[in-house]
């Protein structure tokens, strides 16, 4: 549709210097006189020259892009705006560089193939992986490729070398300590899937807080993070431990389920039973009563993953990060 964009060579001609010099100016390398530099710069603006990414990539073997891979097809991942917030964080850091962001949803087999292609064809300089399940093949693929890779979250089996994660354990502990501080003594929990790092960590946090306070950690029901499993867990707990006066629920979705069971059973929240959730999903403030919960710093997760990847690309060896969580006190506890 358009005329061909100007090339570096044309800039060189117009500026009356060689291509080498133009290249030096563009990459602001040393050994360029002020005179040449000025000549080149004005030639560049006059021509509206912008370096061709492909040519540069080919010559430098650097791609100028990183890829963010989202593995989970779990709609719950989206339900708390996780996705949008992570990307906002990633973008904020990348804006300061000249790296582009590529996005890949790799839940399907086709998506995994495409990821493999990107890896093999060196289509990106680095990888950020999000929402992997246990033993997710993507993790191994990334590792095998030899590209710098940063993970969001950890898996239980084999923690990745570089990751950023939220402090699930500390968050859970803070939640339970809040319950204790408000006078609760018979505290129960509904756990998430214990074969996930997050699920297990939140459970450990619960145990830590109760045991440290000299309370029982025996009121436990196991869920899978879903709303229905939260409801089921709450029923079990009420049947087995009718004396409970508080419950720490390992996800807001489960907490929503728990709240409706409590309502059915005629328990007042928080008077009879206090409830704390985890995640601060968008609907948490719209439940009745509004849900007290633990918020994860999701945008910061995106930011820090990106910063870590940049360091890796830069040849440094950063250390993995655990980001603090925050207790959001509303009405349910």
Candidates 14, 51, 174, 269; binder of DNA (CB under 7 A) is: 51
Asked if 1 is part of the footprint of a second copy (rule: CB under 8 A), the reply reads yes
Candidates 33, 100, 135, 161; binder of a second copy (CB under 8 A) is: 100
Residues facing residue 191 across a β-bridge: 222
Q: Are strands 293-295 and 326-328 parallel, antiparallel or unpaired?
A: antiparallel
b (16+ CB within 10 A) / e for 130-157: bbbbeebebbebbeebebbbbbbbbbee
Smallest distance from a second copy to CB 192, Å: 21
Candidates 27, 120, 135, 228; binder of a second copy (CB under 8 A) is: 120
When CB distances are held under 5 to 8 angstroms depending on the partner's kind, the choice from a second copy, DNA, none that residue 21 binds is DNA
Closest to a second copy by CB, 33 vs 283, is: 283
- Write out the H or E segment, with its range, that includes residue 271: none
Tokens of 26: 């563009």
Helix 197-212 and helix 168-181: axis angle, to 10°?
30
Asked if 211 is part of the footprint of a second copy (rule: CB under 8 A), the reply reads no
Coil, strand or helix at 251? coil
Asked if 100 is part of the footprint of DNA (rule: CB under 7 A), the reply reads no
- CA–CA distance, 185 with 190 (Å, rounded to integer): 16
When CB distances are held under 5 to 8 angstroms depending on the partner's kind, the choice from a second copy, DNA, none that residue 290 binds is none
The residue count for binding a second copy (CB under 8 A) is 50
Tokens of 315: 């040849």
Per-position DSSP letters for 196-244, written without gaps between them: SHHHHHHHHHHHHHHHHTT-----EEE--SSHHHHHHHHHHHHHH-TT-
Candidates 23, 226, 229, 279; binder of DNA (CB under 7 A) is: 23
| Binding interface with DNA (CB under 7 A) | 4, 7-9, 16-24, 26-27, 29-33, 35-36, 49, 51-52, 55-56, 58-61
| Binding interface with a second copy (CB under 8 A) | 1-2, 5, 48, 50-55, 57-58, 63, 65, 78-79, 81, 83-85, 87-88, 91, 95-96, 98, 100-105, 108, 110-111, 114, 117-118, 120-123, 145-147, 282-283, 286-288
């Amino acid at each position: 549709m358009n005329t061909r964009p100007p090339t570096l060579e044309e800039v060189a001609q117009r500026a009356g210097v060689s291509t080498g010099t133009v290249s030096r100016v563009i990459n602001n390398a040393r050994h360029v006189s002020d005179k040449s530099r000025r000549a080149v710069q004005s030639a560049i603006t006059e021509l509206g020259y912008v370096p061709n990414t492909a040519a540069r990539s080919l010559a430098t073997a650097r791609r100028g892009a990183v890829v963010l891979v989202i593995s989970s097809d779990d709609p719950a991942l989206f339900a708390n705006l996780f996705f949008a917030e992570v990307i906002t964080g990633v973008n904020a850091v990348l804006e300061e560089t000249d790296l582009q962001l590529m996005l890949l949803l790799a839940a399907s087999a086709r998506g995994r193939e495409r990821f493999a292609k990107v890896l093999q064809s060196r289509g990106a300089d680095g990888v950020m992986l999000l929402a992997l399940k246990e033993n997710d093949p993507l993790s191994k693929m990334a590792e095998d490729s030899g590209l710098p890779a940063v993970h969001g979250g950890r898996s239980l089996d084999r923690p990745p070398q570089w990751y950023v994660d939220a402090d699930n354990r500390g968050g859970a502990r803070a939640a339970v300590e809040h319950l204790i501080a408000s006078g609760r003594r018979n505290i129960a929990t509904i756990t998430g899937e214990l074969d996930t790092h997050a699920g297990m960590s939140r459970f450990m946090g619960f145990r830590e807080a109760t045991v440290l306070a000299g309370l029982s950690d025996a009121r436990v029901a196991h869920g899978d993070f879903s709303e229905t499993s939260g409801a089921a867990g709450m029923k079990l707990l009420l049947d087995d431990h009718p004396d409970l006066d508080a419950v720490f629920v390992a996800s807001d979705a489960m907490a929503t389920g728990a709240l409706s069971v409590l309502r059915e059973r005629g328990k007042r929240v928080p008077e009879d039973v206090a409830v704390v959730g985890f995640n601060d999903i968008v609907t948490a403030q719209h439940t009745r009563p509004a849900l007290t919960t633990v918020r994860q710093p999701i945008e910061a997760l995106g930011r820090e993953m990106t910063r870590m990847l940049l360091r890796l690309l830069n040849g440094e060896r950063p250390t993995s990060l655990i980001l603090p969580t925050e207790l959001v006190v509303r009405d349910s506890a």
